[in-house]
Amino acid sequence: MDFLAEHQPELLPGNRQLPPTQGVIEAPHGTTIVAATFPGGVVLAGDRRATMGNVIAQRDIEKVFPADEYSAVGIAGTAGLAVEMVRLFQLELEHFEKVEGAQLSLEGKANRLSTMIRSNLGMAMQGLAVVPLFAGYDVDRAKGRIFSYDVTGGRSEEQGYAATGSGSIFARGAMKKLFRADLTEAEATTLVVQALYDAADDDSATGGPDVARRIYPIVTVITEDGFRRLGDDESSEIARSILERRLEQPDGPRAALL
Amino acid sequence: MSTPFYVSPQQAMTDRAEFARKGIARGRSLVVLQYADGIVFIGENPSRALHKFSEIYDRIGFAAAGKYNEYENLRIGGVRYADLRGYTYDRDDVTARGLANVYAQTLGTIFSSAAEKPYEVELVVAEVGETPEGDQIYRLPHDGSIVDEHGSVAVGGNAEQISSFLDQRHRDGMSLAEALKLAVQALSRDTNGTQREIPAERLEVAVLDRTRPQARKFKRIVGRQLVRLLEADGAASEAESAENPEDSGSSEE
């Protein structure tokens, strides 16, 4: 934010001087975020684990946040920095909306996030990277869209589905086989939880649904009606039904061979 | 070297106040009213693009009469102040009182500095609370003083007449439609006492609605929703007052 840069530069993440360090700084890292579109909107979901090296730092971290009424951002990477980045991003969108009297376009929001990630490049090179996934409902085009980023702020729009974080390889594989263009909202939410389950299955840093502690993935849906986070009862329902099927078929649903 | 004219400070201040008052009186009036579920802002504004009312923060709204460029400047300053506060501390730490103080300082400094002309604006800063008792409305005249208002407030050209009209008729716990009707009645009275018609498309209406589920309580009421409210109120309030003539408003809560 230009005003902040002029008046209180110390509040901006990119303006801090880092002391030279040896080796990797140990800080909690968030892991897997997945997103998928369906006709009429987009779903964005994340697991609940934060890790610090081989230790589970937090079991119930929240990594998916509403950015404004029509968009959400899920964060993978250094948790502390990522949460701050999201807070600043939310502030910027709201500030723009109030001053200009109109919302930023979805492209505009995605570009803004890109600049913020780039300003973090110095820290990313010291091992404190933040790599978010941005999803929103494009009011002008009347459809859900997903944007993924790399550490340098490079932005690319993803068609259909996307994943970021340490378990993203496995989540992407799962979604590749299960995704269809004509999913309903309920099917899309099931799809992303399936993908998170597969990520947790193969990646130690991603947490699966924790039935004993009642910690389930955060699932959010953005449609024409705006942002909605599924309640605990809804997400536990999805996680439990998946879990039940996996007791019979541990690898999950099978796609057709040909 | 010629001696500059001596102007007594009293005379200078009176002149400046006169200048500011005249500027404000040229603009159209607007009113801010408390109703059962929050605070409603109503004004006559032919423009769809230049707003008189605006959101400052979650629970805080802003209304201004006078010169557009001057109050727009103050509005943006207020949004910046609020957003910076909320980001540095917490969203709950942004209050209407703090904001009103900042505005009062700004207006006061400009009013008494000889180098600048005084701002020709009058502001209202309102914050909606969890209950009607928690609502706060501050009126800030051009000279930087703060007036703590309750129930109803009017600013702009015909403000004195309108506020006395509102003071007589405003009750606590009015419904939105009732408050809207009263405000339109008040605004459509001319200085010479005649009534004129203000069509819905020339009205700017916004509410701070405490029943909204989102954190941001500010909402503009436009188009069909406004027309519906304006039409509904005649029939609804008549039917209501026929049923229980004493307290038709409090049953709305």
DSSP string, A216-229: --EEEEEETTEEEE
pLDDT given for residue B2 in this prediction: 73
Beta-carbon contacts of residue B3 (< 8 Å; ≥ 6 apart): none
pLDDT given for residue B60 in this prediction: 96
Q: Which residue has the higher pLDDT, A134 or B200?
A: A134
Report whether A32 contacts A171 (CB < 8 A).
Answer: yes
pLDDT given for residue A126 in this prediction: 81
Which positions 100-129 of A are in contact with B (Cβ < 8 Å)? 101
Q: Which residues of A are catalytic?
A: 31
Q: What is the mean pLDDT of chain A?
A: 90
Supply B164's token pair: 């006395």
**Given CB atoms, is B83 within the 8 Å cutoff of chain A?**
yes
| pLDDT tens track, chain B, 253 positions | 677 788 888 988 898 899 998 888 888 889 999 999 999 999 998 888 889 999 999 999 999 999 999 999 999 999 999 999 999 999 999 999 999 999 999 999 999 887 788 999 999 999 999 999 999 999 999 999 999 999 999 998 888 889 999 999 998 889 999 999 999 989 988 777 678 888 888 899 999 999 988 889 999 998 888 888 888 755 544 444 443 433 333 333 3
pLDDT given for residue B233 in this prediction: 53
Beta-carbon contacts of residue A78 (< 8 Å; ≥ 6 apart): A27, A28, A29, A30, A123, A128, A129, A130
Report whether B31 contacts B179 (CB < 8 A).
Answer: no
pLDDT given for residue B253 in this prediction: 31
**Span of A37-46, A158-167, B110-119 with lowest mean pLDDT:** B110-119
pLDDT given for residue B158 in this prediction: 83
pLDDT given for residue A25 in this prediction: 65
Note whether B87 contacts A94, CB cutoff 8 Å.
Answer: no
Which residue, among A58, A55, A72, has the nearest Cα to A106 in the 3D structure? Answer: A72
- Of all residues in chain A, the percent with pLDDT exceeding 70 is 90
Note whether A98 contacts B51, CB cutoff 8 Å.
Answer: no
pLDDT given for residue B46 in this prediction: 85
**Given CB atoms, is B222 within the 8 Å cutoff of chain A?**
no
Q: Tell whether the model's pLDDT for residue A17 goes beyond 60.
A: yes
φ/ψ region of A219 (left if φ > 0, alpha if ψ in -120 to 50, else beta) reads beta
Complex ipTM > 0.85: no
Q: What is the pTM of this model?
A: 0.86
Q: How far is B117 from chain A, CA to nearest CA, in Å?
A: 25
pLDDT given for residue A15 in this prediction: 63
pLDDT given for residue A162 in this prediction: 96
Q: How far is A57 from chain B, CA to nearest CA, in Å?
A: 25
Please list every residue in chain A whose beta carbon sits closer than 8 Å to the beta carbon of residue B83.
91, 94-95, 98
Q: Which of B87, B204, B217 to mutate to test the interface with A (most CBs of A within 10 A)?
A: B87
What are the pLDDT digits (tens) for A79-120?
A: 888 999 999 999 999 999 999 888 999 999 999 999 999 988
Beta-carbon contacts of residue B226 (< 8 Å; ≥ 6 apart): B200, B203, B205
- Three-state secondary structure call for residue A68: strand
Burial of residue A250 (number of CB atoms within 10 Å: 0-12, 13-18, 19+): exposed
pLDDT given for residue A19 in this prediction: 62
Domain ranges of chain B: 15-243
Please list every residue in chain B whose beta carbon sits closer than 8 Å to the beta carbon of residue A8.
84, 88
Element (H, E) at A202: helix A185-202
Q: How far is B133 from chain A, CA to nearest CA, in Å?
A: 27
Note whether A8 contacts B84, CB cutoff 8 Å.
Answer: yes
Please list every residue in chain B whose beta carbon sits closer than 8 Å to the beta carbon of residue A99.
76, 79
**Given CB atoms, is B55 within the 8 Å cutoff of chain A?**
yes
| CATH T-level assignment (fold) for domain B15-243 | Glutamine Phosphoribosylpyrophosphate, subunit 1, domain 1 (3.60.20)
pLDDT given for residue A120 in this prediction: 86
Closest CB to A98: pick one of B55, B84, B88: B55
